[in-house]
Amino acid sequence: MANFTKATGIKDWLNQRLAIEKVEKVIASEYWIPKNINFLWAMGMILVFTFKMLLISGIFLMMYYQPSVEQAFDSVNYTIMREVDFGWLWRHVHAVASSVTFLIMYIHMFTGIYYGSYKKGREMIWISGMLLFITFSAAAFSGYMLPWGQMSYWAGMVITNIFSLGGLHMDGLVEWIRGDYVPAQAFLTRFYMLHVLLLPLAIIGLMGLHFAALRIPHVNNQDGEEIDFDAEAKKYLDGDKKGSKVMRFANDFLSKDMMVLGIFLIFFFYLVFFNYGFALDPVNMDKADGLITPKHIYPEWYFLWSYEILRPFSTNVGLIAFGFAQVIYLFLPWLDRSSNAVAASRRGKFKIWFWVLLIDMIVLTAMGKLPPEGIFSTIGLVAALVFIALWIILPFITMNEKKV
Amino acid sequence: MHNNSRRGFMGKAFGAVAGVGVLGSLVAMKKSWDPLPSVRAAGFTTLDMSIYKEGELITEQWRGKPVFVLKKTAEMIEKQTESQEKRDIIINGSHFMVAIGLCTHLGCIPAYKVDEEEFLCACHGGKFDWSGEVTLLPPPRALDIPPFKIEGNNMILGEIGPEFKAMKDSGITL
Ligand code: HEM
Ligand code: FES
C-alpha cells in the first residue's frame, strides 16, 4: 500500500495524493522550450485564448438563444442584440473570435509549413492540428446556421447538398443529415447540438492530443537546429542559464507568449468594439426564406479558398477537387520527401513552392468572394489548377533536396 | 497457459457482447436522425392546373422546396426541340413545364428572366432554358421534375403516377 504521512501543508497533502509537483514539472517548469524562436511561436497560445473567448461568449449567447425556426432569428437579432444588457458584446466577441481564430490558425499552419515543423517525430502534432482545423471548420459552419438568416439557410442548403456526392445522387444521405427535405427544424436543432456540445467537446479533446503530441518532440526552432533537450536542460538546471539553448515553458517562455498575447488583445478588442462588421454578414440580417435565394451566396472568408476550388469545375470534377483540397494538407509530412526540418528560405525549390502556395491561397480567397464572371472565373480556374499542381509536384521537388 | 486461454476466451466473449451492443446503438443513432413521420406525411401538395396563365412563371412550394410551374405559350410549343418536348407535362391539352426550382448543381434557386426566356443561377453562373434543360455549366443535368400524379385538372406532387414513371424510366428526370 502507498505510504501516506501526516501532511506538512496543503501542497504536501495534494502532492501525496496527486503528485502535483511532478505534474507541474512535466507540463510547465521542466517542459523545455528553445530560446531561438520568434513571435510566430506564440500563435498556439493565442488560439487557446480565442477558444476561451468563444467558450465564454457562447455560454452567454446560449442563455437567450432559441433553437427554433420561428424564434431563432429574433432571439439573436432582437433579444440578444437589443434587449439583453451587453448582449451585443457577447455576440461581437463570438463573431470576431470565430473569424480571428481562422486567421491565426492559417498563420500557425503556414508557420509550421515554413519551418518544416511537421517532420522528424512531429507528424502527430501536424495531424492533430489538421484535425483541429477540420473540427473548427465544422463548428464554425454549424454556428453559422444558428441565427437562421438568409445566408444561414442557403449556405446550409448548398453545403449539405455536397453530400449527395454529385453523380452518385445520394439524396437519401442529404435528407438524413437534414432530417427533412430542406433545412428546417430538425436540421436547426441538430446543428445547435453539434455546435454547443459535440464539436466543442471534440475540440477540447483534440487540443489535449495536440499538446501531448508536442511534449516528446518539443517545439521546433527558427534555425532548424537539432537540440539535445536532455543535455541542454541539465546545463540550465546546473546553473548555466545563459549558455543553455533552452528555457522553462513556465514562467520564462510564457512571459514572451503573454507579451504577444497582450498586443493581440489590443487588436482583438479594437475589432470587437469598432470593426466587427466583417464578421457579421449583412445578408444574414434577413430572416431565412426557402423561396428566395440571395443574389450571391458565398461562405465566410476563411472557407473561400476551398469554395473557389469547387466552383470553376463541373459538379463531379469540382467535388473531387474540393475533397482533394480538404484532405491534402493532412498528408504534408509524407508528401515532403526531404528530411530537412529547417526554414524554407534554406531549402531551394521548396522556398519557391511555399511562397507560390501562400500567394495562390490568397488569390483563391479573393476570387471566391467575387461573382463567378468573366476574367474572375478564369483567374479562379487557373489558381485552382495551380493549387492541385503544387501538391502533385511536391514529392518530386523535395525528393532530391540537398541535406542542410 | 491454461489461464491465458481462459482470459482470451473471456476477452472474446466480452468483445462479442460489446460488438452486438455497438451495432445496435449505431442502428438506433442512425434511425434517430431520419426524417420524422410527420415530416414525410406532409410531403404532398395538390396543384389546380387550370389557373395558370401562359408564359408566366409561378413558384409553388412542395416539401419546403420551390416548384416552378410554367404554362407554355403556343410559340414555345411550336419551336421546341424533341428533347424539350419530352419534358412536357400535358394536362387537359395544356403544356406545362413543372420542375423543382433548385439548381441541380448545388441547390440555389435560379431566377427566371422573362425576356431571355431562361433561368440564371446566380450561385455559380449556371443557366437553364424555359423547358428546364441546361444551357450553361456547371449544373450537371436539367432541372429535376418532382414525382407527380395527374387527376383531372389537378396535379398531386409527391405521388408517382404513370406519366412520371415513364419519364423516370426513360431517364428524363431522376
Ligand atoms: C463551447 C463553445 C461554443 C458555444 C457554447 C457557442 C455558442 C453559440 C451560440 C449560442 C450561437 C448563436 C448565437 C449567435 O449567432 O450569435 C453561436 C453562433 C456562432 N458561433 Fe459559436 N459557440 C461556441 C464555439 C464556437 C467556435 C469554436 C466557433 C468557430 C470557430 C464558433 C462560431 C460561431 C459562428 C460563426 C456563429 C454565428 C455568429 C453570428 O452569426 O452571430 N462558435 N455560437
Ligand atoms: S448552384 Fe446553381 S450553378 Fe451552382
Q: What is the CATH number of the domain that holds A260?
A: 1.20.810.10
pLDDT at position A302, please? 93
Q: What 3-state class would DSSP assign to B135?
A: strand
The C-alpha of A278 sits at a distance from chain B's nearest C-alpha, in angstroms, of 21
Q: How far is CA B27 from the centre of its chain?
A: 27
Give yes or no: residues A355 and A235 share one domain. Answer: no
If you write DSSP's letter for every residue of B25-94 in order, what string do you get? HHHHHHHHTSPPHHHHHT--EEEEGGGPPBT-EEEEEETTEEEEEEEPPHHHHHH--HHHHHT-EEETTE
Give yes or no: residues A216 and A276 share one domain. Answer: yes
CA distances from A227 to A246, B123, B157 (A): 9, 52, 71
Q: Which cell is A147 given? A: 441565427
Q: What 3-state class would DSSP assign to B99?
A: strand
Q: How confident is the model at residue B109 (pLDDT cuts 50, 70, 90)?
A: confident
Q: Give the chain B residue whose CA is nearest to the CA of A164.
A: B106
Q: In what order do the strands lie in the sheet with B148-151?
A: B45-48, B154-157, B148-151
Number of H helices, E strands in chain B: 5, 11
Contact B33 A176 (CB under 8 A): yes
Taking the C-alpha atoms of residue B120 and residue B13, their distance in angstroms, rounded to an integer, is 61
Range of the domain at A26: 18-294
In a domain, A13, yes or no: no
Number of H helices, E strands in chain A: 17, 2
In a domain, A334, yes or no: yes
pLDDT in tens, A323-372: 899 899 999 999 999 989 999 999 999 999 999 999 999 999 999 888 76
CA angle (A173, A199, A216) in 5-degree steps: 120
Give yes or no: residues A315 and A209 share one domain. Answer: no
Give yes or no: residues A368 and A276 share one domain. Answer: no
Would you say residue B63 has pLDDT above 90?
no
Taking the C-alpha atoms of residue A326 and residue A134, their distance in angstroms, rounded to an integer, is 8
DSSP state of A372: S
Give yes or no: residues A164 and A62 share one domain. Answer: yes
Torsion angle in degrees (nearest 10) through CA of A304, A309, A311, A312: 140
pLDDT at position B3, please? 65
Taking the C-alpha atoms of residue A29 and residue A20, their distance in angstroms, rounded to an integer, is 12
Q: What 3-state class would DSSP assign to A284?
A: helix
The C-alpha of A209 sits at a distance from chain B's nearest C-alpha, in angstroms, of 25
Q: How confident is the model at residue B2 (pLDDT cuts 50, 70, 90)?
A: low
In a domain, A186, yes or no: yes
Q: Which of B106, B112, B120 to mutate to test the pocket of ligand 2 (most atoms within 8 A of CB)?
A: B106
B136 CB less than 6 Å from ligand 2?
no
Give the predicted TM-score (pTM) of the model. 0.85
Higher per-residue pLDDT: B114 or A112: A112
Which of B124, B157, B173 to mutate to test binding with chain A, by most A CBs within 10 Å of its CB?
B124
Single-letter residue type at A130? M
What is the phi/psi pair of residue B58, to 5°? -115, 140
Centroid of ligand 2 to alpha carbon of A158 (angstroms): 9
Give yes or no: residues A213 and A240 share one domain. Answer: yes
Give yes or no: residues A319 and A187 share one domain. Answer: no
Which residues is B149 bridged to in the sheet?
A: B156
Residues near A342 by Cβ (< 8 Å), separated by ≥ 6? A115, A116, A223, A224, A404
Count up the domains in chain A and report the number. 2
pLDDT at position B31, please? 93
Q: How confident is the model at residue B1 (pLDDT cuts 50, 70, 90)?
A: low
In a domain, A318, yes or no: yes
**Helix-helix angle A374-399:A315-328, to 10 degrees:** 40
CA distances from A171 to A93, A162, A209, B143 (A): 37, 10, 36, 15
Pairing of strands B118-120, B127-129: antiparallel
Higher per-residue pLDDT: B59 or A114: A114
Centroid of ligand 1 to alpha carbon of A106 (angstroms): 19
- What's the whole-number average pLDDT of chain B? 85
Please identify, among A233, A266, A294, the residue that sits at the C-terminal boundary of a domain: A294
Mean pLDDT of B20-42: 91
Q: Rg (Cα) of chain B, in Å, rounded?
A: 25
Please identify, among A268, A294, A320, the residue that sits at the C-terminal boundary of a domain: A294
Give yes or no: residues A309 and A287 share one domain. Answer: no
Give yes or no: residues A168 and A190 share one domain. Answer: yes
Give yes or no: residues A145 and A161 share one domain. Answer: yes
pLDDT at position B87, please? 83
In a domain, A8, yes or no: no
Contact A377 B106 (CB under 8 A): no
- Is residue B57 within 8 Å of residue B112, measured between CB atoms? yes
User: How many C-beta atoms lie closer than 10 Å to residue A32's C-beta?
Assistant: 22
Q: Which cell is B3 given? A: 489461464
Q: CA quadruple A377, A378, A382, A383: dihedral positive or negative?
A: negative
Please identify, among A239, A271, A294, the residue that sits at the C-terminal boundary of a domain: A294
Instruction: Residue B33: list chain A partners with CB under 8 A.
Output: 176-177, 179, 190
Q: What is the CATH number of the domain that holds A315?
A: 1.10.287
Chain A interface residues (partner B, CB cutoff 8 A): 154, 157-158, 161-162, 166-167, 169, 171, 175-182, 184, 186, 190, 290-293, 295-297, 311, 313-316, 318, 371-373, 377
Which of A150, A181, A369 to mutate to test binding with chain B, by most B CBs within 10 Å of its CB?
A181
Give yes or no: residues A117 and A48 share one domain. Answer: yes
In a domain, A6, yes or no: no
Q: What percent of chain B has pLDDT over 70?
A: 98
The length of chain A in residues reads 404
Centroid of ligand 1 to alpha carbon of B57 (angstroms): 39
- Is residue A152 within 8 Å of residue A284, measured between CB atoms? yes
pLDDT at position B76, please? 78
Contact B108 A158 (CB under 8 A): yes
Proximal ligand: closest to the CA of A155? 2
Give yes or no: residues A233 and A381 share one domain. Answer: no
Q: Rg (Cα) of chain A, in Å, rounded?
A: 24
What is the phi/psi pair of residue A74, to 5°? -70, -35
In a domain, A32, yes or no: yes
Q: What 3-state class would DSSP assign to B19?
A: helix
Proximal ligand: closest to the CA of A88? 1
Which of B123, B137, B157, B174 to mutate to test binding with chain A, by most A CBs within 10 Å of its CB?
B123
Q: Give the chain A residue whose CA is nearest to the CA of B138.
A: A314
Q: What is the pLDDT along chain A (404 residues), one digit of tens a residue?
A: 678 999 999 999 999 999 999 999 999 999 999 999 999 999 999 999 999 999 999 999 999 999 999 999 999 999 999 999 999 999 999 999 999 999 999 999 999 999 999 998 999 999 999 999 999 999 999 999 999 999 999 999 888 988 888 777 788 899 999 999 889 999 999 999 999 999 999 999 999 999 999 999 999 999 988 899 999 999 999 999 999 999 999 888 999 899 999 999 999 999 999 999 888 888 888 999 888 888 777 889 999 999 899 887 877 888 899 989 989 999 999 999 998 999 999 999 999 999 999 999 999 999 988 876 778 888 999 999 999 999 999 999 999 888 87
B143 CB less than 6 Å from ligand 2?
no
**Helix-helix angle A374-399:A349-369, to 10 degrees:** 160
Identify which of A162, A293, A377 has the shortest CB distance to residue B109.
Answer: A293
Contact A161 B108 (CB under 8 A): no
In a domain, A277, yes or no: yes
Centroid of ligand 2 to alpha carbon of B92 (angstroms): 34
pLDDT in tens, A82-109: 999 999 999 999 999 999 999 999 999 9
